[in-house]
Amino acid sequence: MEEKNINEKESLEIISRMIQNTRKNKVSAKPYLWLGYTAAVGSVIVNALTIFVDSPWCAIVNYGFFTVLVTIAFLWFMIGIICRSRANGIAVSYIEKLNNASWGFVVIFMLLLLLVSQRFIQQSEDKLLVLGIMQFVLACILYAGNYFSTIAINEKYKVFSWVNCFAIGTLFGLGSNIGLKDGRTVLIMFSIELLFIIIVTLIVPGHKIRKENVK
């Protein structure tokens, strides 16, 4: 492209072509997908271990898993910012900025949750109950991050967030209505819920975004 005068039709063509090219600079689905896979596989293994193996060590492993999960979320967030391909230059879109801000918010909240919950776990007699509640709060934070991202990426993905919101409300209400008080049952309930939330908020939208990026 050179510095030359153009006619009206050419002007219009340049404007539309450049705007179209900029739109191709979409948000990467990789953090969604990998955080989703890690959380899903890890949750199944760790929660099964906690529920079926009667050892106090399992609660520690469970807590450790969430620490790892939060660390992975943090690393993915940082890697996404630092290791961007610079070969073709960098353009920060408004969508990307909003997406990064929402995930930054999620990661910071998760780290704070871990710090606060550590104190509660140490003091509580029913450690499994605290872990169950912690899982629920973690799921809510993931949901919040996903909700902001879906607004940023595409309006239509909001439906996943609403389904998720409904699932959280139903399962939580169900748990309190039945009157499940012991830690193990609460943990089972929240484990199922957490798994569902991970699939709905991370894996499914991640695949959708990847498909759109391929297009």
- Selected binder of other proteins within 48, 97, 101, 173 (CB under 8 A): 97
Other Cβ atoms closer than 10 A to 180: 17
x/- contact string, 25-64, with other proteins (CB under 8 A)?
x---------------------------------------
Q: Candidates 66-74, 92-100, 134-142, 146-154: pick the segment binding other proteins (CB under 8 A).
A: 92-100
Report, in Å, the least distance between residue 146 CB and other proteins.
Answer: 22
Shortest Cβ 159–other proteins spacing (Å):
26
Locate 103 and state its tokens: 């995930």
Asked if 93 interacts with other proteins (CB under 8 A), we say: yes
CB 153 within 8 A of CB 127: no
Tell me phi and psi for residue 53, to 5 degrees. -105, 120
Out of 82, 83, 91, 214, point to the residue binding other proteins (CB under 8 A): 91
Q: Does 85 bind other proteins (CB under 8 A)?
A: no
Binding residue (CB under 8 A) for other proteins from 23, 119, 181, 211 = 23
Tell me how far apart the alpha carbons of residues 97 and 195 are, in angstroms, rounded to a whole number.
Answer: 28
In terms of phi and psi (left: phi > 0; alpha: psi -120 to 50; beta: otherwise), the region of 97 is: alpha
Residue with tokens 């957490």: 194
